Structure 1
Amino acid sequence: MDKQFWFEIRDHQYAVPEGQSAPELTEELFSYIGSTDPELRDAVGYETFANWLDKRQYTPEHLRAYIPRLVINLQEGLGERDTDSVFLRAFSVLFLAEIVHTDNKRILLEREDIFSIYDKTLAYLAEEQDPRGYVPEKGWAHALAHTADLLSVLVTNRFLTRVELENVLNAIAEKITTPIDWVYLHGEDDRLVRVIVAANQRQLLDEFFMKQWLSAFTAPRRHKWKGSFEDPSRHHAYVNTRNLLRSLYLQVMQNEKLFNRDYLAAEVLKTLQNLRQF
């Protein structure tokens, strides 16, 4: 199918063409996930899949069959840097996010389906090495932001308990404080904060955990912030950490309905004040 075929579907509010079925056409959409053409990958592949999910074009059996295929994609080229394989990984994450989002609205999946996504997503968060946001001519890679989008729907899923929520927040702290030769500039901090806020709104995370979790930003496991301005990779991690905490503080202050808001505001501010390189 050419792009015009898909754009006509879009122009007709994603109605499935007569004589066709969404699951059959989805096989072609899946071939676009790793495309370096941003129109095919994003405007056609992702947006069509998301709209067909919303229009209930897939059965639970279809979704269960898609999950392992998408999860396997997260391993393709994992560990590479600045290669086109990132598009397959990052957009497979988005497809998974749409599946989980759909399950959150309409119960379709079993516990093992959600946990297969949850386990692989945490591993992927730790192991993805390509930090690029927007790639000239090829469009958005945005692996970290897309992973945050998936985590934000996972933490609201009925099957995740306090333990899993704590694991997600700990994984975010570990990722953002890890030395790196990159400063995230494309809204990754805001997307990660959505995960934190969504997890907090489950009202399963107590003050003791949140205090301990915030301490991981001022005292990372593997290094110290003192003197990090002399080491570019640690300095970049410091800036990424500070940006995340600032974004979190802003969201806490703006959200009057946030669970445990006053406590979080005080603790996040204290964490920012204790985040020092000197």
Structure 2
Amino acid sequence: MLAEVVERDNTARLVPAGKVLEWADRIVTWYLREQDLRGYVPGSGWAHAGAHGADAIGVLAKSPHVAMNELTVLLDVLADRLISAETAMLGGEPDRMASVVMTVLRRDLVPLKVIEPWIARIAGTGSAFGSTGDRDPFLDTANPQAFLRALYLQVALAADPPPVRADLLLVLVEALRMTNPFTLAKPRG
């Protein structure tokens, strides 16, 4: 509901900046604490907290009350949610999260020197292969890898690309190679 109010304010500017930022804090706090990230729940339908939370962050990212520092925080919230998920996001959540990042990038307020280490952080968790006992080792890498693929496609195919498109594509290619060393390794020679 808060996202709908913020979206209305994005066009009508009816709410003071402090109130929008207070609501932003509530949204991101809920999003990071939400434990049930199932997409479709058989017998109940769509739960989709991961996608709806990303959508709410996307609305915040469009707010004129949100500047570079707040946009950077929103990116960190997305990364934290992506990395900390206990289940694989299978209902399009990585695509919705990538769409939010595109919203941030199109505002052209967060420089590439901030985006690069942010992507490297996600890629670092997306390449953590290894035995973890009884836990599926790909569980920890599935969401970051799916997100990086989604972001690459959205940056590459966008009709209205962000200003940093060319450099960002190179950063994403390296991140994808790092997270997929068995299938995307650089050619030798």
TM above 0.5, yes or no, is yes
Q: How far apart are residue 232 of structure 1 and its match? A: 3.0
Match of 1:252 among 132, 148, 155: 155
Contact (CA 8 Å) 1:226, 1:276: kept in 2 or not? no
Match of 1:185 among 86, 90, 96: 90
Q: How far apart are residue 117 of structure 1 and its match? A: 1.3
Deviations 1:68-95 (A, max 9, x none): xxxxxxxxxxxxxxxxxxxxxxxxxxx2
Bigger relative CO (Cα 8 Å, ≥ 6 apart): 2
Q: How far apart are residue 191 of structure 1 and its match? A: 0.9
Say whether 1:173 aligns with 2:89: no
**2:14 maps to amino acid:** L
Residue in 1 that maps onto 2:185: none
Partners in 1 of 2:140 and 2:71 — Cα distance? Answer: 23
1:238–1:224: structure 2 CA closer, same or farther, 3 Å change rule? closer
Residue in 2 that maps onto 1:144: 50
Partners in 2 of 1:125 and 1:243 — Cα distance? Answer: 19
* Number of equivalenced pairs: 181
Q: Structure 2, unaligned stretches of length 5 or more?
A: 183-189
- Aligned partner of residue 201 in structure 1, secondary structure: helix
1:193–1:153: structure 2 CA closer, same or farther, 3 Å change rule? same
1:246–1:231: structure 2 CA closer, same or farther, 3 Å change rule? farther
Q: How far apart are residue 230 of structure 1 and its match? A: 5.8
1:228–1:192: structure 2 CA closer, same or farther, 3 Å change rule? farther
Partners in 1 of 2:15 and 2:38 — Cα distance? Answer: 32
Q: Structure 1, unaligned stretches of length 5 or more?
A: 1-94
1:106–1:234: structure 2 CA closer, same or farther, 3 Å change rule? farther
Residue in 2 that maps onto 1:275: 179
- Aligned partner of residue 160 in structure 2, secondary structure: coil
Contact (CA 8 Å) 1:225, 1:276: kept in 2 or not? no
Contact (CA 8 Å) 2:156, 2:169: kept in 1 or not? yes
Residue in 1 that maps onto 2:17: 111
**1:211 maps to amino acid:** E
1:163–1:274: structure 2 CA closer, same or farther, 3 Å change rule? same
Scaled by the length of structure 1, the TM-score of the pair is: 0.61
Scaled by the length of structure 2, the TM-score of the pair is: 0.87
- How many percent of aligned residue pairs carry the same amino acid? 30
1:228–1:123: structure 2 CA closer, same or farther, 3 Å change rule? farther
Deviations 1:30-55 (A, max 9, x none): xxxxxxxxxxxxxxxxxxxxxxxxxx
**2:10 maps to amino acid:** N
Cα RMSD of the aligned pairs, angstroms, is: 2.1
- Aligned partner of residue 186 in structure 1, secondary structure: coil
